[in-house]
Chains A and B, each alone.
Chain A
Amino acid sequence: NAGVMQNPRHLVRRRGQEARLRCSPMKGHSHVYWYRQLPEEGLKFMVYLQKENIIDESGMPKERFSAEFPKEGPSILRIQQVVRGDSAAYFCASSPSTGSRWAGELFFGEGSRLTVL
């Protein structure tokens, strides 16, 4: 029973490069969420996706950031032309359902830590 799998766990990029972070939800989960945690802060919602659909991207920066959850394969969070301020832990979470049916059913991965030099 694999949990939410994120890779890479650690990623180092130089300014201007691209970062790709992957998330495989738990088996049977079709809802994926990405959160960002800056150092010494709580998690901030970025985007919510279902298979092939972005449902809510209200927390995504307007530029350089994109996310997808294709029909096959993991969800990808892509950051183009990274800057030092993008250094953070990026968490993926998945759930089998949504909204009012929640009762602690949001499962987090171990996070991907991006360092921009």
Chain B
Amino acid sequence: AQKITQTQPGMFVQEKEAVTLDCTYDTSDPSYGLFWYKQPSSGEMIFLIYQGSYDQQNATEGRYSLNFQKARKSANLVISASQLGDSAMYFCAMREGNTDKLIFGTGTRLQVFP
């Protein structure tokens, strides 16, 4: 079974609008961490935001926020005030328990248009 599911292969958003990228996960471990990474066309992986399973509040980092709904096992990324430079692939990833491996979803390609 897929551990991380990103159901949106592609998304379009107009500049300055907000966009939500979906991510659901599956784990039986009560301790886990959720990550979002951005991969622009140049190829590097850029860390955006992290949410721990025991964190009481949703994580925020500038224009990025993580809508963490634990009961629904979802960790959607919200990008506010989209910019042209936000066009990239976005990957959701999970670390389980005390392991050191990240499990990645298949990604969502976001395109921001003027």
Min Cβ gap B27→A in Å is 15
A59 and B47: CB pair below 8 A?
Answer: no
Number of interface residues of B (CB under 8 A): 28
- Restricting to A69-104, which residues have a CB under 8 Å from any CB of B? 89, 91, 93, 95, 98-100, 102-104
Q: Which residue of A lies closest to B95 (CB)?
A: A102
CA distance A42 to B59 in the complex (A): 23
Given contacts A42-B105, A56-B101, A111-B44, contact A104 B50 (CB under 8 A): yes
Min Cβ gap A58→B in Å is 8
Give which listed residue, A33, A108, A113, contacts B100 with CB less than 8 A.
A33
Chain A interface residues (CB < 8 Å from chain B): 31, 33, 35, 41-45, 48, 55-56, 58-59, 89, 91, 93, 95, 98-100, 102-104, 106-111, 113
Chain B interface residues (CB < 8 Å from chain A): 4, 31, 33, 35, 37, 42-47, 49-50, 52, 91, 93, 95, 97-107
